[in-house]
Amino acid sequence: MNALAIQTERVDDIPLLIAQQQKMGIAKILDQVIQPHGNRKGLSVGEIVPLWLSYILSEGDHRMVMVEDWIGSRLILFSDLIGKPIRPKDFTDDRLAGVLEKLADNEVWETVETKLGQHMLQVYKLAGTDAIVIRLDSTSVSGHHQITEDGLFQFGYSKDHRPDLAQYKLMLATLDPLGMPVASLIVSGEKSDDGLYIPAIKRSQRIVGKGGHLYVGDSKLSSRQNRAYIAKSGDYYLTVLPRRHQGDDEISAWIQPVLDGKQGITVVKISKDEKKGEILWALGYETTRQQQVKVDGKLYHWEERVAVVFHPAQAKQKRIWLEKRLKKVEKKLQKLVTKRSQLNSRWEDLVFVY
CB atoms within 10 A of CB 37: 7
Residue 121 φ then ψ, to 5°: -115, 140
pLDDT at residue 352, as a whole number: 47
Is the distance from CB of 78 to CB of 86 less than 8 angstroms? yes
Strands 214-216, 133-143: parallel, antiparallel or unpaired by DSSP?
Answer: parallel
For residue 275, pLDDT beyond 80 = no
Instruction: Determine the pLDDT at residue 124.
Output: 63
- pLDDT above 60: residue 346: no
Q: Could you tell me the pTM of the whole model?
A: 0.76
Q: pLDDT tens for residues 64-116? A: 999 999 999 999 899 998 888 888 899 999 999 989 999 988 889 999 999 98
The whole-angstrom separation of Cα 133 and Cα 217 is 11
**Predicted local confidence at residue 152, as pLDDT:** 85
CA-closest candidate to residue 51, choices 36, 38, 66, 40: 66
pLDDT in tens, 191-214: 888 889 999 999 999 988 888 899
Percent of the chain at pLDDT exceeding 70: 91
Judge contact between 201 and 234, C-beta under 8 A: no
Interval 245-254: pLDDT, tens = 777 788 888 8
Q: How many CA atoms lie within 13 A of 93 on its CB side?
A: 5
What is the rounded average pLDDT of the residues 331-353?
A: 66
Q: How high is the pLDDT of residue 17?
A: 93
For the cut 70, the answer to whether the pLDDT of residue 347 exceeds it is: no
Is 112 within 8 Å of 173 (Cβ atoms)? no
For residues 225-248, give the mean pLDDT. Answer: 88
Indicate whether 353 pLDDT > 80.
Answer: no
pLDDT on residue 126: 57
* Chain-centre distance for alpha carbon 231: 21
CA-angle at 308, arms to 135 and 271, nearest 5°: 75
> How far is Cα 275 from Cα 128, in angstroms, rounded to an integer?
39
CA gap 92, 254 in Å, rounded: 64
What pLDDT score was predicted for residue 56?
94
Q: What is the torsion angle, in degrees rounded to the nearest 10, for the CA atoms of residue 333, residue 335, residue 336 and residue 340?
A: 140
